[in-house]
Structure 1
Amino acid sequence: MDGVAGEGAGAKAGDDRGDALRRAAGAAGLKTLGAGVSEAERHGPEAAIAVVGGGLAGLSLIDALLARGVSPEDLLLIDGGDPHRGSHAPATVLHPFAGRTMGPGKAHWQAFLKSWETLKRWCEREHEPLWRSAPMMRLLEGDKLSTKLEASWEEGRARYPEIVESWRVEGEASRRLLPGWQGGPALVYEPAAAVDLPGLCGALLKRAQSRGVRVVQGEVADLRGGEEGWAIGLAGGAPALRAARVVLATGAALGTLLGEADLRERPGEVGVWEAVGPLEDLNVMINSAANIFERPDGRVGVGSTYLKREGWQEREDDEADAELREKMNAALGGADPGRALQIWRGVRGIYGSDHRPLVGPVAGESALFVMAGFGSKGLTWAPAMGQVLAAHLLEGAAIWEVVDARRARRMRLRR
């Protein structure tokens, strides 16, 4: 399950998997590409696997399928380009402790290590700055959460993987890292990195297209399964697309297609500032009331605020700017960073308690799968789950137990 072939996977493996996918399409009553045009003329493109959603989750799966030797002509990516999805956030950080504990379990580490290696490789192969690594400094502010974090660090650090280093600072050691914190206590750890997520997703999409993956821009409005596979209806009345198997990687929009799931939308905001004044020459990335970090392009990302579900899209940027600056106040020693260059507002899909992603087959539906629910841990989980789901689709490999297959089984297609 863990072994992933590189982009140069042998032709024989690719041919075998391509043949298997085409047999699956044939069993579903679908013609394969090149077997005639009349069906395509009536229903649009055909594919063995259609991935709905071109954010980090969907693109991770496409990349993993290609890496395992799937022919690009057997893949279809459908994307509505939602500007509010998490993959469009202009400021994102990958680090091992995105939640409220510094003692995560074994499966978390398995996902983090796989995603760290994958994201770093993706970013470093591009000829543009998409990745900037730096230590993360988690400020201990004397509240209940800080006490819990330090206790979980003390209890869990002996089990950290070899690549993870962590230490506690206070006084002069703290002041050298972050002068504005004025010597206050903090936990410092690495590896951690700021990721240009929109830039990375654009690069992954461009690579997939250059290899021959068909990409259709549009919003999926209807899914209908039958003996001929899945008919995928797009908003606006375009001809239906057809595929033998469908994977829904639509993030917070999943509830428009699937019901009866514990789905909660989590709106939030991030801001971008020039690296001047108190934000100039940051030695570390800061994790406190707001994450503060230098982006790969040299500007500073700050996030996030959490918003109520009602009316979040109508919020004024001035209000967000003021809240984010207030959250930066303690870390920057009261210095004013000035106004933000950009405020981005978006929404993530949270399932259950935001501890486990939602990956697996949808009950009662033949060849329909879901890959979503990454919540606040998209960079930690999505690249790893792309590889896990690809292995499941192609080889029948087991889905990791940690993912919330139980909720996936409760989901039902909206009719």
Structure 2
Amino acid sequence: MDGYFASRLHHQLRDQVRYFAELEVRPRIPAMEAARSVHHELSRLIARQGWLGATISRKYGGMGAGHLAKTIIIEELSRVSGAMGAMVQASQLGAAKIVHFGSAAQKDAWLPAIAAGDCLPTIAVTEPESGGHVLGMAATAVRDGDDYVLNGRKVYVGNSHVGDLHGVVVRTGPGSRGLTAFLVESDRPGFRIGEQRPTMGLHGFSFGELFFDDCRVPATHRLGEEGDGLAVAYSSSVLYGRANLTAVSLGIHQAILEETTRFCAERERYGKPLHALPSIKIKLGQIQSRLMTARLAAYHAVHLLDEGMDCDAELMNAKLINVESAIDSARNAMEIHAAAGLFTDRPIERFLRDAHHIFAPAGTSDIQLLRLGEVALGTTKGQWSHRLSPVVRREEGVRDTLEAPPEAHPPSATRVPRQPSRCGTRT
């Protein structure tokens, strides 16, 4: 299936990420599961591999490798740890707003730091009362001379507790043209992070609350013009959020298949491996079929995005198929494991918990179906992929800039850890 879309260099990238994930991520999973809180050290280590810059131009120190490469990176990390795949997808989501809406000065200030792993960006849109209703948000920004003063609260912010630079969409006026986006450093006066609350899954990842109490931000930190906030929110969700979360689901799905087939080979019933039972083999066949379909949908969608083609519907469908099929396969896997799946010495229950975390962000399955229904009726309101992905194609050359990654060395030999640098220039 990879042969339809992935090149030799994509396969080399997959090998590199998988090697790293097995060596550096897998040994840390027990500690992350026990702590049920963000893993700062591992998040920084992954960032320093340069993978946050998958869609950042080489001009700014990024990979310039495109959305398929980004998908492979997230998928391979998620195959070992959904939490660390989620960390990378959230960071790349944060980078997208600068790639697409940042000024030349903003790109110069922040994209090199993000690409180098010295800056973890986020995007903050959702609020406790409005949820997925973006236009219902109440957080505000009021112009005061050369600054804006932000007040309000954001929730479910990916990388909330490790983020250095938050892309925040708030209200500057009424209606759909009354939303504006800003870049806010995590050490700005008036900004604070809420207490991290334990969650069902994705242990090691943080998605929490941000508070803005008379937080003063320079006008130079505004992304685009006043009124561009809705475009920042929607484009990040459609072009990056759905694709990135699809990749997390895909990696978890692959892990479900591998762990379940391993279990079926190790366990015996009636003197034969468990997979010799027809009922078990059918369930394995269902998991395999779902995974093949899910990967095809995912790779096809991001391939179209890399080609600069309209693909909003394909991205919606990829997220729908991957999320639903991963959850279904996790349920099948739990049925096969039976009581053995209830204990934490086997990861299958972690996969089930983690898979459910991918359901809501960037639109639940009902939202994807609602939008796909509009596609069927011909009542869609435009293509975000048409508006923005050609920009990626022109500026970043996604077809021509994927270079061979370094040979598979231990990560310490591949990347020399840096001392943290300032994320952009404070004004």
TM class by shorter chain equals under 0.3
Determine which structure has the larger helix proportion and give its number: 2
What TM-score, normalized by structure 1, do the two folds share? 0.25
**Larger radius of gyration, structure 1 or 2?**
1
